[in-house]
Structures are given as C-alpha cells and as structure tokens.
C-alpha cells in the first residue's frame, strides 16, 4: 500500500476537491491519496514573484509530508516548482507533473505539444522542457488564456477551450500528443470527461495529474523494495554531504524540529 501526498501549491483550498475527484478513479486499490494545499502564501503562481514565495512553502510541505510518513510526494503544478530543491532535501520520491507527463508522452505518440493556461506560462514551460532535455520532441507550447483563479468558476468552459486548443495544435503543429501543461486545466478537462462529455475524449491528451500520481506510485513501490536509489554524487547532492551543521541550520528554517518545541 502506498501513501501519496498531492500538494496543490496554492494558498487556497479552492482546487482540492476537483483534483481529488479527477484523480481518485485512476488510483489502484492499494494507494492512499491525500490532497493538501498551502497556507499563508499567494493564492496562485501565475507570476514569478508569487511562484518564488510559494517554492519555500513547498519545501516546508515536503519536510512535513516526510515526517507524516508519506511514501511519495507530488507537487501539483506544471511549473514543477521547487522540484530540484525538494529532491535534494528528501529521499522520499518527489514528482513534478510536467516532468512526469513529458517523459511519458512517447508511448502515446512520437512528438508532443504542451497546452498550458495563459501566455505568461509559455516561456516558463518552454524553459522546463529544455531543462528536461525534451525540446527536440516538443513541437510547441500554446495557451488557452485562462488564469487559474477564473477556472474554478467555470470548469466546463475550461475543458472545452482546452480540447479545442489541443485539436488545433495537433492539426497545425505536427504533434501527435497534447500534454495539458496546467494541473487545474487538466482537472477541469478530466472532470468534464468523467461527467459524460465523451466528445472531449477523442484526442491523445495526456493528463499531468494522473501521470504524476502514477509515477509516484511506481517510485514508492521501487523504494519499498530498495530499488529507488537516488544519486547523491552531483545534481542531487545533499547539503549535509558538504556541511552538516550548515545543512541543519537551513533545515531548521524550513521546519523546526517539533521534538524541540518545548525545550
């Protein structure tokens, strides 16, 4: 049995229900999923300043999830905020939806396009695709021009716009697969399909929420049998390997030791 934390990295619970509704049907019977969100931080990360503030809170949430006994952790945004830092911080598998879905796009088709939420997100997604080494197979990154705060008010409209944009990029950008590059767009789309909009299920559209959770299940399984052995030789080398005392000071800023609260 795997216990997975899916964090909506927003300072609001507005998206928790739709994410849980659209992921739960795809979980295997032995997976326990808990949806969490952040507190006391920006409601969205549509812009880079709030994104930067949120990333620190994501790291705090990772530390807490590890203390709470989770087997894997999903950062529920396709910016994959604080993904590298989180992997440096913990041995618990941490999954970013964009990385997971882009890596797994090839079984669905030869080349993919990303359909994200708005124009501000396009260069950030392009940069991450480049960082992951997948730029040669990514035909384009396009947007549907919805901001996340507006989506929850009309998820059915978001689903229709996402489907229409996916159809357009598949027809005109020489892509075979459309990857939804926003977790809330993906939740809106999945909700519409689950509620009977079968006309939206006619394209090769990859849902990053589902891909991330499935990767989290896999990595949790591997870790349980001793087969998840993250390299600490370079990119994910841990701070404590260089300076234990300094690393402890940094960790204390992220998450004070609850055992020492009364001392």
Which domain covers residue 71, as residue numbers?
2-99+212-247
Q: Do 20 and 90 reside in the same domain of the chain?
A: yes
Only one residue has tokens 């440096």, namely 88
- Specify the pLDDT at position 1: 85
Q: Do 114 and 201 reside in the same domain of the chain?
A: yes
Q: Do 196 and 224 reside in the same domain of the chain?
A: no
Strand stretches in 61-148, DSSP E = 72-75, 94-95, 112-116, 138-143
Average pLDDT, the chain: 96
Mean pLDDT, residues 9-34 taken together: 97
Q: Do 137 and 122 reside in the same domain of the chain?
A: yes
Q: Do 48 and 120 reside in the same domain of the chain?
A: no
Which among 170, 163, 116, 120 is positioned nearest to 143, based on CA atoms?
116
Any domain includes 74: yes
Check if the beta carbon of residue 53 is closer than 8 Å to that of residue 41. yes
Question: What's the domain count of the chain?
Answer: 2
Any domain includes 195: yes
Q: Do 154 and 93 reside in the same domain of the chain?
A: no
Q: Do 190 and 115 reside in the same domain of the chain?
A: yes
Q: What is the pLDDT of residues 102-159, one digit of tens each?
A: 999 999 999 999 999 999 999 999 999 999 999 999 999 999 999 999 999 999 999 9
CATH of residue 231's domain is 3.40.50.1860
Q: What is the pTM of this model?
A: 0.95
């Amino acid at each position: 049995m795997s216990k997975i934390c899916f964090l909506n990295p927003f300072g609001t619970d507005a998206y928790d229900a739709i994410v849980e509704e659209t992921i739960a049907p795809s979980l295997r019977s032995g997976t326990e999923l808990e949806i969490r969100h952040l507190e006391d931080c920006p409601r969205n990360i549509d812009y880079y300043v709030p994104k930067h503030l949120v990333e620190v809170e994501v790291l705090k949430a990772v530390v807490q999830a590890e203390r709470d006994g989770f087997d894997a952790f999903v950062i529920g945004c396709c910016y994959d905020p604080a993904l590298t830092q989180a992997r440096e911080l913990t041995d618990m598998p941490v999954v970013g939806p964009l990385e997971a879905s882009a890596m797994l796009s090839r079984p669905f088709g030869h080349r993919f396009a990303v359909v994200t939420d708005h124009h501000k997100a396009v260069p950030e997604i392009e940069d991450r695709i480049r960082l992951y080494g997948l730029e040669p197979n990514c035909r384009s990154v396009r947007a549907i021009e919805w901001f996340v705060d507006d989506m929850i008010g009309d998820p059915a409209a978001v689903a229709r716009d996402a489907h229409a944009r996916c159809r357009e990029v598949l027809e005109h950008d020489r892509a075979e697969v459309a990857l939804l590059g926003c977790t809330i767009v993906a939740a809106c789309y999945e909700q519409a399909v689950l509620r009977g909009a079968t006309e939206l299920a006619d394209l090769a559209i990859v849902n990053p929420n589902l891909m991330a959770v499935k990767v989290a299940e896999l990595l949790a399984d591997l870790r349980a049998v001793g087969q998840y052995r993250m390299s600490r030789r370079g990119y994910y080398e841990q701070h404590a390997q260089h300076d234990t005392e300094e690393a402890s000071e940094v960790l204390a800023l992220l998450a004070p030791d609850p055992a020492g609260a009364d001392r």
